[in-house]
């Protein structure tokens, strides 16, 4: 078996590795594995950003949209190696590459006890969908062993407005909730960057009876 990322042969190792779950086939070599950096416990309790205590982004979000997103969980830092990896998988259409991270994702997912949560996918915009023909968020949900719930649709043509940040945030929401739920929800996506996408979705869910919204991404 060859490494998914650099194609060098994977030599089975006798010693343990803390990156992959035992029993799951290794898809990336040790060198590539070392390029990824796991998010440790020393991270923002709200969004998993590496560092001590609640980060500045979350503080600002909580001022603007208090209580909308309960928590974001991420597995790996979005370091230079991860950026390269994402570029390869997204823009070169190498969707299978994400399978290399399956074990790390499953391990984190299991720790979070998300059994009662509905795993909700992020809908692709029409243009993106056509271009990629592939919904990453859906694939990630299947990878952790859940059925993706399709609760949202995209609205096209975002409007700009000069109202308050909160009103603008609401006016610019590119999603429409087609199936409200009263179950707790976990939104699954590849990367948490600004946290805007998940909050757009979370605010609609919470306004329509959803008790708890968390998000889960590979990278932060």
Q: Which residues bind Zn ion (CB under 5 A)?
A: 3, 5-6, 29, 32, 44, 46-47, 49, 55, 58
The stretches of 153-195 forming alpha helices (DSSP H) are: 165-171
Q: Which is nearer to Zn ion, 47 or 205 (CB)?
A: 47
Q: Which is nearer to Zn ion, 69 or 118 (CB)?
A: 69
Which residues, at least 6 apart from 144, have a Cβ–Cβ distance to it below 8 Å? 105, 106, 109, 119, 188
* Nearest distance from C-beta of residue 152 to Zn ion, angstroms: 23
How many other CB atoms sit within 10 Å of the CB of residue 126? 10
Q: How far apart (Å, rounded) are the C-alpha atoms in residues 89 and 44?
A: 27
Q: Which is nearer to Zn ion, 52 or 156 (CB)?
A: 52
* Nearest distance from C-beta of residue 104 to Zn ion, angstroms: 15
Give bridge partners of residue 71 from the DSSP assignment: 214
Q: How far apart (Å, rounded) are the C-alpha atoms in residues 186 and 178?
A: 16
Angle, CA of 199, 37 and 33, to the nearest 5°: 125
Q: Which is nearer to Zn ion, 53 or 145 (CB)?
A: 53
Q: Which is nearer to Zn ion, 146 or 214 (CB)?
A: 214
* Nearest distance from C-beta of residue 162 to Zn ion, angstroms: 28
Q: How far apart (Å, rounded) are the C-alpha atoms in residues 65 and 69?
A: 9
Q: How far apart (Å, rounded) are the C-alpha atoms in residues 183 and 208?
A: 11
Sheet strand arrangement including 71-76: 71-76, 213-219, 185-191, 118-121
* Nearest distance from C-beta of residue 73 to Zn ion, angstroms: 11
- Tell me the CA end-to-end span of the chain in Å, nearest whole number: 29
* Nearest distance from C-beta of residue 105 to Zn ion, angstroms: 18
* Nearest distance from C-beta of residue 177 to Zn ion, angstroms: 25
């Amino acid at each position: 078996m060859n490494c998914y990322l650099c194609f060098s042969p994977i030599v089975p190792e006798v010693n343990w590795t803390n990156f992959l779950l035992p029993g799951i086939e290794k898809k990336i070599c040790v060198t590539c594995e070392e390029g990824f950096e796991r998010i440790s416990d020393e991270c923002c309790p709200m969004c998993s950003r590496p560092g001590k205590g609640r980060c500045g982004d979350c503080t600002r979000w909580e001022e603007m949209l208090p209580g909308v997103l309960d928590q974001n969980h991420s597995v790996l830092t979005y370091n230079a190696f991860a950026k390269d990896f994402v570029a390869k998988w997204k823009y070169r259409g190498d969707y299978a590459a994400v399978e290399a991270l399956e074990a790390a994702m499953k391990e984190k997912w299991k720790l979070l006890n998300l059994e009662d949560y509905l795993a909700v996918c992020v809908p692709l915009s029409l243009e993106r969908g056509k271009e990629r023909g592939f919904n990453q968020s859906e694939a990630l949900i299947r990878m952790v062993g859940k059925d993706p719930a399709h609760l949202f649709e995209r609205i096209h043509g975002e409007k700009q407005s000069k109202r308050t940040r909160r009103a603008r945030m609401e006016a610019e929401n590119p999603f429409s909730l087609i199936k409200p739920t009263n179950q707790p929800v976990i939104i699954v996506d590849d990367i948490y960057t600004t946290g805007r996408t998940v909050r757009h979705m979370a605010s609609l869910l919470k306004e329509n009876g959803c008790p708890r919204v968390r998000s889960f991404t590979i990278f932060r």
